Structure formats: structure tokens, C-alpha cells
Amino acid sequence: MDERRFIMDIKEAVEKRHSVRQYLDKPIDDEKTQILKKQIEKCNQEGHLNIQLILNEPRAFQSQLAHYGKFKGVQHYIALIGKKNSPDLQEKCGYYGEHLVLLAQQLGLNTCWVALTYKKIPEVLHLDSDEKIVAVISIGYGENQGVARRSKDMKDVIETEENLPQWFYEGVRYALLAPTAMNQQKFKFAFENGKVKVKRGIGFYTKLDLGIVKYHFEIGAGKNHFQWDTEDDQR
């Protein structure tokens, strides 16, 4: 990856990234496009997904749904696609999608997770019969940098009460900066037997949120400090 194009490191990207729904009429330059495509290819290989970068295609965000979602000027987006029968499809799309969201922020681009307020344009997407779109991510140069969301307190999302290492708290702090559906933050963390468990609540797109939140936790905690407890993972 050509890190010379990055205007901030990954932790700064987490701190500064906010959802942006209004975009300038400006193409994404070729060098940034190639960096994004290369990372998308890597995510697809690792996650067995079919994520696609769609450029110069405004129709997906010209519907009444997009108007309801207050989107304006969206011409580029990332489509998160995978196998319908994959039991952890939503979680994987959340995890790898957020990797791309923060990469975009590092490149000086803005993004917004979109689950419902877009229109599928079949002729620009390449889907096999056993695949589906989970969500899309608008991407481009924002008219603004967005605003910070309200967030729960750390104590509200930690189940384990004592003897927690500092890296665990850092992981939770970064998880609380993760975007979630309707900003509900329906997740809780626990540290048991040397492993970290994250439990999702009940609601729309909480499986997608789970992947996003896990990616943020890894950034804050450092992947070298822990293992995920997936024995009873709620899918």
C-alpha cells in the first residue's frame, strides 16, 4: 500500500471520521482509486467476498429513498457483496467495509454507511446468482467533514467489572467511535479466560455492526494483545 498518499494514521482516521451525506462534484483521482481497488481485492481474497468500487454512477442515490436519507451529490460508492448462504456474511462485510471506510479517510475522502436509502443499479454490479448486496458505502469528497455522534459511556458496554488490562479499555474506546445502525451501539464487551467476547444486541443490522465494532476494537487494543472468543458468537 502506498502510504505516501495518507494524510493521517489509522487511529487519527478513527478519531476524525464522521458520516458525510453531501458530496462535491469531483472525481476521485486515479492514484487513490488504484489504492482503493488494490485493498478491495485484498479484502475479497481474505474474506471470500465480492466487494466492488462503483465510480461515476449517480443513479443509485437519485431515488426518493436517497432524498429521505438526505444524500446529495453521491456519484461513487462501494458495494458490499457476498454469498447468500455465508453464515457470517454481514459481519464480514462490516469488518472489511470499515477497513475501507478508514482507508478512505486516510486518503482524504469521506464516506457514509448506507443500508436502505439507495437504489440497486443492476447493470453496474457484477453479482452471481448466489450472491447479494449487504450494504453500500458512499465515498467521495464531502461538502463538509460531518459531525461527531452521541456515544454511550464505556461502563455501559463493558460486562466484566474488574482486573481489565489497559489495552482492553483502549479497544472499547475505539469501538465506541465506530458507526452503527441508527447510532444505537447495541454491543457489549467482556474479557474472560484471556479472550475478548463481544455480544450484539437485537435489532436491524446488528450483525453488520458487529464486524465494524470488532475492527475498531482491534485498532484500539492491538491485535497482538488478545484473541476473540467466538465459541458462542451470535451470528
Cα 109–chain centre separation: 14
What is the band of 234 on the pLDDT scale with cuts at 50, 70, 90?
Answer: very low
Q: What is the average per-residue pLDDT within 1-20? A: 85
The answer to which of 13-17, 148-152, 220-224 has the lowest mean pLDDT is 148-152
Domains along the chain? 3-140 (3.40.109.10), 154-227 (3.40.109.30)
Check pLDDT > 80 for residue 224. Answer: yes
With 90 as the cut, is the pLDDT of residue 46 above it?
A: yes
Quick one: average pLDDT of 8-29? 96
Q: What is the 3-state secondary structure (H, E, C) of 172-205?
A: HHHHCCCCCHHHCCCEEEEEECCEEEEEECCCCC
Half-sphere exposure of 103 (CA within 13 A, CB side): 23
What's residue 116's pLDDT?
81
**Could you tell me the pLDDT band of residue 218, with boundaries at 50, 70 and 90?**
very high
* pLDDT winner (highest mean) among 3-7, 63-67, 128-132: 128-132
Kindly state the helix (H) or strand (E) to which residue 32 belongs, with its residue range.
helix 30-47
Cα dihedral sign, 203-209-210-213: negative
- 3-class DSSP state of 133: strand
Average pLDDT, the chain: 92
Q: Which triple of cell numbers denotes residue 123?
A: 447493470
- The number of angstroms, rounded, from the C-alpha of 94 to the middle of its chain's C-alpha atoms is 5
Containing 77, the helix (H) or strand (E) segment is strand 77-83
Q: What is the mean pLDDT of residues 1-7?
A: 65
Say what the pLDDT of residue 132 is. 96
d(CA 110, CA 187): 25
Name the nearest CA neighbour of 80 among 33, 115, 34, 42. 115
Closest CA to 90 of 51, 125, 134, 58: 134
Q: How confident is the model at residue 66 (pLDDT cuts 50, 70, 90)?
A: low
Which tens digits make up the pLDDT trace of 169-210? 999 999 999 999 988 999 999 998 889 999 999 988 999 999
- Rounded to the nearest angstrom, the gap between the alpha carbon of residue 28 and the centroid of all alpha carbons in its chain is 19
- What does the chain come to in residues? 235
Please, what is the end-to-end C-alpha distance for the chain in angstroms? 32
**Residue 201 amino acid letter:** G
State the average pLDDT over residues 26-38: 96
Determine contact, residues 94/88, Cβ cutoff 8 Å: no
Backbone angles phi, psi at 2, to 5 degrees: -85, 95
Regarding predicted confidence, which is higher, 172 or 230? Answer: 172
Question: How does DSSP classify residue 134?
Answer: E
| pLDDT confidence tier of residue 65, bands split at 50, 70 and 90 | low
pLDDT digits (tens, 9 = 90+) for 126-156: 999 999 999 999 999 999 999 998 899 999 9
The predicted-structure confidence for 69-99, as pLDDT tens digits, reads as follows 789 999 999 999 999 999 999 999 999 999 9
